[in-house]
Chains A and B, each alone.
Chain A
Amino acid sequence: MNKFKPWKLLSVFLAISAVVIIAGIVLMVLLGFNNSADMPENKMFEVKYDVTVINDETLGDKLQTYCEDVFESNGLSVLDMRKATGADGGAETAAFNFYFDPDVSAELQTKVENDLAAKLGADEKLKDKDIYTAWHTETVQSEVDYVWRGAVAVGIVVALVYVGIRFGVGSALTGLALSVHDALFTLAVLAIARIPVYASAPVWYAAVAAFLSLALWLIYCIKLRALKKGSQTPVDAETAMETVYGSAWKWAAVCLGLVAAAVLLLGLVATAGVRAMALPLLAAVVAAAYSSLILGPAIHVYVKRAFDKLSRSNKIKYVGKEKKADK
């Protein structure tokens, strides 16, 4: 692995990041995210009944089965089904709300209602019961909470102040660049791949990416600090990164593997709703993997080189002043 030196190809990696992030921003502006997980526009078929009239749970289940049979026979696929209970004019009611794409035609809506009425009419136990059915349309209003967007930045900047104190300003700057990159890269991947997400979730994914990026960058910081402490003479940027890259890369890869496994576990051993929330987190893992294994070390070689140069020039000036004073 040591043979691979990502800093030799920094311009290529920066170009890749720029293309992905710019394309993502353009798509975010033009199309936004794919919020289909939230069903922002939907048709909802409501089947409501009085629970004091239909008080047998098996009849409720039967009613649900009839509905599902009717949808299937009419080629309708249910996006989601939610059970509701309420009080309607004093009567306790229960309802099945079936959600569909918004393009269900008026003819199909009528046919579904008629087919269900026919099925209920043929059932001895349900035919005389007062079961209300109706189609509804719903358009969710977008959430705009601008404060969310700045929150992660504040957290990361404060954490990086500590990194700057403990590991040097150069390391903090690289960490800042990587955190911002990963947050944007994650949002871009979600926008470009049109991954279905809940409306409020993208900022959360970006936050996880930024935190993950920070944690993985600390592995490099720790290794570089150990190298600096262990060497008698200053080590130039490229040699330092070349020395620590192999072991830091392995640690970062192990941590990323563990996080990816945890996300997959949460997403796969789950109901559809939790899956839709958890699996897009893999975009954050991908972004963190790209930045911690490739981009971070590449950027830091140049950042460290610049800071080393600055440090050397400061030292030379200082020595000059001392000589002058001696005279």
Chain B
Amino acid sequence: MRPLRIGLTLRILGVLVVLGVAVFPLYWMIVTALSSNSDLFAAKARLVPDVSQFGVFIDALAEGKALGWLRNSLVIAVGTTVLSIGLGIPLGYALSRFSFWGKAVVSVLLLFTQMLPEALMVVPLFSLFRRFGLLDSLTGLILVNSAFVLPIVALILKGAIDGIPRALEESARVDGARPLTVLTRINVPLIAPSIAATAVIAFFHAWNEYVFAVTFIFTPGKQPASVGIANFIGELGTPIQTVMAVAFMFTLPAVVFYLFAQRHVVAGMTAGAVKG
């Protein structure tokens, strides 16, 4: 009886330590946002948020810049989600259901492009975008973000379609349905959970993206939140409370959505990334 107790206590202690480590930095973001100046720079740190300082969130939004950043991020993220899933569903379907010349090349390419760092591609894409007039536009960012997230989206959706019995499609075909109708009426509804997971991945890929946004956007009014927040680092003009309030509003949606889609996202990412 006795050693069992000790084991259990140790396990609970371990879990609490892990949770503390996992949650603390975000907790600290909130505490910092909700601190008065005197608390912030006092000799002894205040470890709990001061709820009376809640106005900082409203101030941060009212100031206008932050709201514009978040709006731009939202446009880029929604655009990327729609485009990458729109392209990823037919690609995943082709890879799952057909055999054709060049299939192996496409599969290898999808794996290979996942090894390319954004920082490497930013130079040639810059000259490409200048030629097509896509610099300094949200459309350009939607296009490039979709291209970078498309491989993982397509591979996850291919895996999901692999899991649907072909018999379901056969019966629709016997009734004379075209391939596209089969895809949209039979497969798409059945893989809805995977589509939702890829939507989360694509959305937050674009929401978090920094390298392309900081290089391709010049007009301050078109900056997404990732660039706006990154500019806070090492800058001293903005009060740290405002900085943390904006960063928290930027972080919260990602955390909430990932919590919901966690299982599907993780399973999809490991399956898509390596098994191909």
**Do A and B originate from a single complex?**
no
> Interface residues, chain A, CB within 8 Å of chain B?
none
